[in-house]
Chain A
């Protein structure tokens, strides 16, 4: 560039100004959302994104192409006057721009496809025209930003078109400052917030101890103004990327929910009305009940929007207003009266263990592990076989363990996911009191919902234990040679593993069940959606206890995916998944059986 050419000087000044605008916007949103843009956070984010490169996740790679494409073109435009002096640097930038441009083209195509399907979803949901217009606008801005960045990267190759490139860059930078600075801040602030972290509106123990004034407690949101700054930053950061909608099992089943539409509706509502806007005027009750809390939306969001926070806070709002149908209130009542969500006599919890020589902790307080059975494996005659199988394995391996029997109470997950935080904490505190009284140190769980609560949630209420998932322990026992599958006992069946959301996506347990299966069966096949990208069975988020309107069943979609592998057995690792998929194979008349990993391994011993 002829540095003294006044036209180029003006173009460069505009470029610098537009870049400054981007940083100004970043600083502004960071301050408003109380997010730190410290080098530490940025390094952390970079490491996190680098670690996800290997997953080969398409949405993530597109997000990376866009982010790096913007970064590269900004760098190029700022360095432009110096590049004539360092021709090698220019070559390097040009070479690097190639894969990014490819990623951007892919992003463009994907985004156009999402646009079309988003309009289909909105039509099915009956979204009002005002919403559709606003959504289309944001999506077109996104498509435009991608197109501009792609164009800019291409123009880098043609120095004669540098002026045009600068103009494109300035326009794109203005768009970034206006629309994408806030999501960037949200990403920097919350990329490492674990999926299992639930916002806790109050601490029941503090209330009971008189440390918190009960009148100051507000559980959930009944007015749009009640969302706090972090939640507001989260939902205002939605730029209609649409990855959540593509991943959501509720949307796929034709339920009245799209995580994208929900988040945007809440954002528009909180931004528009006065302080008392009723969220339930635009968010439907079944819309909120449609969520299975599988976490696919949050995990897939490239800018770290936390959809589940919003779902839980609004569900809590419904609970606070008593807007629960009979099925949901009955489940909560059962939890209060019988310590299990089905209304069975809790004293019959250990009926499955009769004659198996399984001790209760009361009889054997020195046992190394407590086996936390969970309600479904205690009371469901089918799921009891999981408990029996695990007991067989543990006994064979010589692991010292005991159960709580009638002293075990529901872990509380169904109440918490339904939005009844008080009932959840009540159950958690009761359980923790018992566990601590027995001096429990190590716990095994066969239900991922119990596992997640015990491992990640109970520490916050004073229950700190070493919690291991049964598939982890089984694979350890195999690796250590404490249980052995003799070659002639390896089952010559074809198996595909359905990962449970709360084990895989929530807690990164997905290699261990595969190791256990690899040792036990001859033919292990994979579904397309697997490990942390698994697809829900439809029972999570308390959905097991009620029905919502839908076009097809979530479990049916998943069972069809399993059938497509040609496997004759679906291996599960969660009693709820087992129940849902087992029903679906019957509905579809599929010649497949559904068994827990523990059952399959136990049969080989």
Chain B
């Protein structure tokens, strides 16, 4: 029986990728097999069966995972190997493609297959267009995270395959958790950004709260991080800071110099609050409130609380 393999380092993503694999298997007349490396993973579900590869460590580096999967694939000949488009998943898929000399379609959703090839859709030109891509079997693919529901249950039989000891020249020396205050502005969907309209450092708390209530992250303009040191450098959005493009960017008390605008101009929707009606930021905004942030922000928070 032809098989579509699924691998992800994360249980949740593995279950998403398994949903995608079901569509591919249906089109190609194949069955889905979810891979487990080194040890069994009860949190990982499969509509078809599971395949436990023995030999690699239970949380392998991307290099070791790719080597173990490649060894098994050379023997068992799956028609497709799907990973999640995470940092690790991308590396595993591209290494597999290179090792097995097969094609790879990247960051795809809406996957499917016919008798000869796998296909899917991916965003191009910064989301302005969608490209349909396909690749003849055998192929690798990385599946866009968040595009599929997680598969739940359906564990079929468990097969085992010994691929031998796998070593990776890359050794994990230490693991360190990100500091609690670390922000990931680049992936935030909503960003509340503070400017010099904020009078003192303590007042940032209300914006931090607002960001939390909007499920977003807190950013700032250059003076707040570089000159005043109110927020760490990683919060600084602008020409010499981070470049972001969230769904919603709320600029609070930011005048809107190019130094700042260059870092957020590609945001989908920009709203701003400023006391100065001539503030340049309004020209870069879709919505604007001319008003004191100390009145407007509490009003927004109240409205959000009422809606919740």
List residues of chain A with CB under 8 Å of any chain B CB: 327, 342-344, 376, 379-383, 544-547, 553, 556, 579, 582-584, 586-587
Tell me if A381 and B262 are in contact (CB < 8 A). Answer: no
Contacting residues, chain A, for B223 (C-beta < 8 A): 583, 586-587
B59 within 8 A of A: no
A residues in contact with B258, CB < 8 Å = 342, 376, 379-383, 579
For this complex, 11 residue pairs linking A to B, each with C-beta atoms less than 8 Å apart, are A342-B239, A342-B258, A342-B262, A344-B265, A381-B256, A381-B257, A382-B255, A545-B239, A579-B259, A586-B255, A587-B228
Contact residues in B for A556 (Cβ distance below 8 Å): 227
Kindly list chain A residues whose C-beta atoms are within 8 Å of the C-beta of B262: 342-343
* Contact residue among A380, A381, A544, A587 (Cβ-Cβ distance under 8 Å from B227): A587
Total interface residues in chain B, CB < 8 Å:
20
Whether the pair A381, B239 counts as a contact (CB closer than 8 A) is no
Residue-wise, chain B 118-133 has the 8 Å CB interface mask toward A (1 for contact) of: 0000000000000000
Question: Which residues of chain B from 227 to 269 have a CB within 8 Å of any chain A CB?
Answer: 227-228, 239-240, 255-259, 261-262, 265
Cα distance A379–B261 in the bound complex, in angstroms:
10
Tell me the nearest residue of chain B to A585, going by C-beta. Answer: B196
Does B280 contact A547, Cβ atoms closer than 8 Å?
Answer: no
- Chain B 205-229 near chain A by CB (<8 Å), digits 1 or 0: 0000000000000000011001110
Measured between C-beta atoms, what is the minimum distance from A555 to chain B in Å? 9
Across the two chains, which residue of chain B brings its CB closest to A580? B259
A327 to B261, CA, bound (A): 15
B255 → A minimal CB distance (Å):
7
Q: Are B257 and A544 in contact (CB under 8 A)?
A: no
Contacts across chains A and B counted by CB atoms under 8 Å: 56
Chain A residues positioned under 8 Å from B280 (CB to CB): 380-382
Instruction: Report Cα–Cα, A579/B257, bound state, in Å.
Output: 7
- Once the chains are docked, how many angstroms separate the CA of A483 from the CA of B11? 74
Closest to A555 in B: B227
Q: Contact between A546 and B228 (Cβ–Cβ < 8 Å)?
A: no
Given known A-B contacts A343-B262, A587-B196, A382 and B240 have beta carbons under 8 A apart: no
Question: A381-B261, A586-B196 known; A553 and B226 CB under 8 Å?
Answer: yes
Q: How far is the CA of A392 from the CA of B296 in the complex (A)?
A: 36
Instruction: With a 10 A CB-CB cut-off, give which of A344, A382, A383 has the most chain B CB atoms.
Output: A382
- Taken together as a complex, chains A and B put the C-alpha atoms of A556 and B284 apart, in Å, by 27
Residues of B in contact with A (beta carbons under 8 Å apart):
196, 222-223, 226-228, 239-240, 255-259, 261-262, 265, 280-281, 283-284
Residues on A with beta carbons closer than 8 Å to the beta carbon of B283: 381
Cα–Cα distance between A547 and B233 once the two chains are bound (Å):
11
Neighbouring B residues of A544 by C-beta, 8 Å: 239-240, 259
Q: Answer whether A583 and B256 are a contact pair too, CB < 8 Å, given A343-B262, A380-B280.
A: no
Q: Which residues of A contact B261 (CB under 8 A)?
A: 380-381
Instruction: State whether A547 and B226 are in contact (beta carbons under 8 Å apart), knowing that A342-B239, A381-B284 are contacts in the complex.
Output: yes
A300 CA / B222 CA spacing, docked (Å): 32
Asked if B239 contacts A382 (CB within 8 A), the reply is no
CA distance A586 to B265 in the complex (A): 22
A342 to B264, CA, bound (A): 12
* Separation of A327 and B284 alpha carbons in the complex (Å): 22
Whole-angstrom distance between the alpha carbons of A598 and B283 in the complex?
22
Known: A381-B284, A382-B280, A553-B227. A583 touches B257 (CB 8 A): yes
Chain B: CB-nearest residue to A384: B280
Whether the pair B240, A583 counts as a contact (CB closer than 8 A) is no
Q: Which of A343, A376, A547, A584 has the most CB of B within 10 A?
A: A547
Q: How far is the CB of A339 from chain B (nearest CB, A)?
A: 15
Cβ of A586 to closest chain B Cβ, rounded Å: 4
Smallest CB separation, A38 vs chain B (Å): 49
> From residue A18, how far is it (CB to closest CB) to chain B in Å?
56
Q: Do A547 and B259 touch across chains, with their CB atoms under 8 A apart? A: no
A583 pairs with B284, CB closer than 8 A = no
- Considering the chains assembled together, what is the distance between the CA atoms of A544 and B256 in angstroms? 16
Chain A nearest CB from B194 CB (Å) reads 13
Q: Are B239 and A583 in contact (CB under 8 A)?
A: no
Closest chain B residue to A351 by CB distance? B283
In the complex the two chains form, what is the Cα distance from A584 to B239 in whole Å? 17
Known contacts A381-B258, A544-B239, A583 near B265 by CB under 8 Å: no
B228 touches A583 (CB 8 A): no
Which A residue's beta carbon lies closest to that of B224?
A587
Instruction: Report A-chain residues with C-beta under 8 Å of the C-beta of B284.
Output: 381
**Smallest distance from the beta carbon of A330 to chain B beta carbons, Å?**
8
Look across to chain A and name the residue whose beta carbon is closest to the beta carbon of B283: A381
Point out the residues of chain B lying under 8 angstroms from A583, CB to CB.
222-223, 227, 257, 259
Nearest residue, chain A, Cβ from B222:
A583
Inside 8 A of B240's CB, which chain A residues have their CB?
A: 327, 544-547
- Could you tell me the distance in whole angstroms from the C-beta of B44 to the nearest C-beta in chain A? 37
In the complex, what residues of A have CB within 8 A of residue B255's CB?
A: 382, 582, 586
Contact indicator A382/B265 (Cβ below 8 Å):
no
Q: Top 4 closest A-B pairs, CB basis?
A: A381-B280, A380-B258, A586-B196, A587-B227
Distance in angstroms from B241 CB to nearest chain A CB is 8
A135–B259 alpha-carbon span in the complex (Å): 40
Most chain B CB inside 10 Å of its own CB: which residue of A376, A380, A582: A380
Residues of chain A lying within 8 A (CB to CB) of residue B227: 553, 556, 583-584, 587
- Cα A376 to Cα B280 with chains together (Å): 13
Could you tell me the distance between the alpha carbons of A381 and B283 in the complex, rounded to whole angstroms? 7
A434–B196 CA distance with the chains assembled, in angstroms: 42
In whole angstroms, how far apart are the Cα atoms of A235 and B240 in the complex? 32
| A383 CB contacts on chain B under 8 angstroms | 258
Q: List the B side residues contacting A582 at CB < 8 Å.
A: 255, 257
Q: Which residue of B lies closest to A382 (CB)?
A: B280
Across the interface, which residues of B come within 8 angstroms of A545, CB to CB? 239-240
Give the contacting residue for B256; candidates A342, A382, A586, A587; CB below 8 A.
A382
Are A380 and B226 touching (Cβ within 8 A)? no
Query: How far apart sit A379 and B280, CA to CA, in the bound complex (Å)?
Result: 11
Closest-by-CB residue of A relative to B223 is: A587
Which residue of A has the minimal Cβ distance to B282? A381
Residue numbers in A under 8 Å from B256 (CB-CB): 381-382
Residues of chain A lying within 8 A (CB to CB) of residue B265: 344
Complex Cα–Cα for A545 and B243 (A)? 13
Query: Given the complex, which residues of B lie within 8 Å of A553, measured CB to CB?
Result: 226-227
* Complex: A299 Cα to B61 Cα, angstroms: 57
Bound Cα distance A583, B280 (Å): 13
Closest to B243 in A: A330
How distant is the Cα of A539 from the Cα of B239 in the complex, in angstroms? 13
